[in-house]
Chains A and B, each alone.
Chain A
Amino acid sequence: QSALTQPPSASGSPGQSVTISCTGTSSDVGGYNYVSWYQQHPGKAPKLMIYEVSKRPSGVPDRFSGSKSGNTASLTVSGLQAEDEADYYCNSYAGSNGYVFGTGTKVTVL
C-alpha cells in the first residue's frame, strides 16, 4: 500500500488561506468517504482535525475545512494563525488494506 501523495510544504501569511492536497487511488481516497486529517507539532502526537472528509471534531476551529473530489482530498486552513504552523497528514481507510497515511505537508506561517 503506497502512501498518499501530499506536497512537502505549503505556506501563507497570517490571515491568508492555504490548501493541502492528498492524492490517492480508487482503492483508498476515491473509494471511501473516510478521509481524516491530523495536525502534528514537533515532538507531539498527532491531533485529529477533520474526519469523514469534511467533519470537524468539537474544539477544532472552523478555519479548518475539508473536501474531496475523485481520488484527491483537500484540507484548507483559512485565516492562518501562527499556531497553525505544523505538519499535516491525511489518512484514508483502504478496505482490506487497512489504512494509509499521506506523506505529510509542512505548513509555514510567514
Chain B
Amino acid sequence: QVQLVQSGAEVKKPGASVKVSCKTSGYTFISYHIHWVRQAPGQGLEWMGIIKPSSGIISYAQKFRGRVTMTRDTSTSTVYMELSSLTSEDMAVYYCARERDSWYYFDYWGQGTLVTVSS
C-alpha cells in the first residue's frame, strides 16, 4: 500500500534550520511528484513547493524562496525539505503529499511533522 512516512517532531531555536524527511513506499517513486504543505497551529494549509523525483526539478512558493531547499534520494525513495532561518512563524506541522504528473491534486499525504521553534 502507498505510504508516506515522515520523520519525527523537531524542536529548534530561532535562526536554526530544520530538515524533514518523507520516506515513500508502495509505488514507483519517480512516477509521482512530492509537495510540501505546512499548517501553523489553528491555521490553514499553505503550499510550500514541489519536487519532481524523476528529474530533480523543483519549484518553490515565492514566500519561501531563498529559505527552503527540497531534495530527493532515489536510492531510498525519500524526499527532504530543509527550511532555514527559522522564526516563531515557522512553527507548524509540515506535510508531504503525492501528486502524479499533471494530476494537479494530492492523493496521499504523510502523517505530518511538528516543528517547534522556541528559544
Q: Quick one: which of B35, B95, B107 contacts A99, CB cutoff 8 A? A: B35
Chain B residue contacts of A89, Cβ below 8 A:
44-45
Contact A45 B111 (CB under 8 A): yes
Q: Is B53 an interface residue (CB 8 A)?
A: no
Contact B49 A98 (CB under 8 A): yes
Bound CA span A103–B64, Å: 19
Contact B47 A45 (CB under 8 A): no
Q: Is B55 an interface residue (CB 8 A)?
A: no
Q: Of B49, B62, B105, which is in contact with the most chain A CB atoms at under 10 Å from its CB?
A: B105
Contact B107 A103 (CB under 8 A): no
Count A-side interface residues using an 8 Å CB cutoff: 25
Q: Quick one: which of A38, A52, A93 contacts B45, CB cutoff 8 A? A: A38
| Contact pattern, A 43-58, Cβ under 8 Å of B = 1, otherwise 0 | 0011110011000010
Give the total number of A-B pairs whose CB atoms are below 8 A apart. 64
Q: Is B109 an interface residue (CB 8 A)?
A: yes
Among residues of B, the one whose C-beta sits closest to the C-beta of A87 is B44
Bound CA span A93–B50, Å: 12
| Contact pattern, A 1-20, Cβ under 8 Å of B = 1, otherwise 0 | 10100000000000000000
Q: Is B101 an interface residue (CB 8 A)?
A: no
Q: How far is the CB of A66 from chain B (nearest CB, A)?
A: 11
Contact B104 A48 (CB under 8 A): no
Contact A34 B104 (CB under 8 A): yes
Chain B residue contacts of A97, Cβ below 8 A:
61-62
| Contact pattern, B 74-111, Cβ under 8 Å of A = 1, otherwise 0 | 00000000000000000000010100000111110111
Q: How far is the CB of B67 from chain A (nearest CB, A)?
A: 16
Q: Is A24 an interface residue (CB 8 A)?
A: no
Chain B residue contacts of A21, Cβ below 8 A:
none
Contact A101 B49, CB 8 Å, known A36-B104, A46-B109, A48-B105:
no
A residues neighboring B (CB under 8 Å): 1, 3, 32, 34, 36, 38, 40, 45-48, 51-52, 57, 89, 91, 93, 97-104
8 residue pairs from A and B, CB less than 8 Å apart? A3-B46, A34-B104, A36-B104, A45-B110, A91-B47, A91-B105, A93-B104, A101-B45
